[in-house]
Amino acid sequence: MDGCDSALPRRAIFAAGWLGLRPKAVSQCVSAAQRPPINGATFLCTAAVLLAAALRSNADEPSLSPHGDTPQCELWLISSRQLGCHTAELAAPMALQYRRSAAGCWERAAPEEFFADRSPPSTVIYVHGNRYTATDAVDIGSAFFRQFAAASHAPLPQRFVIWSWPSEPIPGVHADLRKKASVSDCHAHYLAQLIERIPAGVPVCMIGHSYGARLIAATLHLLAGAQIDGCALARFDVSSSERPLRAVMMAAAIDHDALLPGKRYEGALCAVELLLVLKNPLDPVLKRYPLLDRYRFPQALGVAGMADPPSLCHDGEKLLEVDISNWIGRAHAWHRYVGSPSTLSLIRHATEFEPAVSPVGR
pLDDT for 50-79, tens place per residue? 333 333 433 333 333 344 556 568 899 999
Check if CATH label 1.10.4100.10 holds for domain 13-56+64-350. no
Cβ atoms of 260 and 299 within 8 Å: the answer is no
Picking from 127, 175, 152, 144, the residue whose alpha carbon sits closest to that of residue 67 is: 144
In this predicted structure, the answer to whether residue 34 has a pLDDT above a threshold of 50 is: no
Q: What is the pLDDT of residue 236?
A: 59
Q: What is the mean pLDDT of the chain?
A: 78
Q: What is the pLDDT of residue 35?
A: 35
In this predicted structure, the answer to whether residue 47 has a pLDDT above a threshold of 60 is: no
- Report helix, strand or coil for 251: coil
How many angstroms separate the CA atoms of 8 and 209, rounded?
28
Can you give the residue ranges of every domain in the chain? 13-56+64-350
Q: What is the DSSP letter of 263?
A: S
3-state helix, strand, coil in the chain (%, to 5): 35, 15, 50
> What residues contact 321, with CB distance under 8 A and at least 6 apart?
23, 24, 276, 277, 279, 305, 306
How many angstroms separate the CA atoms of 194 and 115, rounded?
9
Q: What is the pLDDT of residue 240?
A: 58
Residue 250 β-bridge partners: 209, 278
pLDDT for 236-270, tens place per residue? 565 556 789 999 999 999 999 999 999 999 999 99
pLDDT for 154-188, tens place per residue? 677 789 999 999 999 988 877 787 788 889 999 99
How many angstroms separate the CA atoms of 328 and 308, rounded?
26
Cβ atoms of 165 and 183 within 8 Å: the answer is yes
Largest CA distance in the chain: 56
Q: What is the pLDDT of residue 360?
A: 34
Q: What is the pLDDT of residue 229?
A: 85
pTM of the predicted model as reported, rounded to 2 decimal places: 0.79
Picking from 275, 274, 231, 272, the residue whose alpha carbon sits closest to that of residue 254 is: 275
How many angstroms separate the CA atoms of 137 and 156, rounded?
21
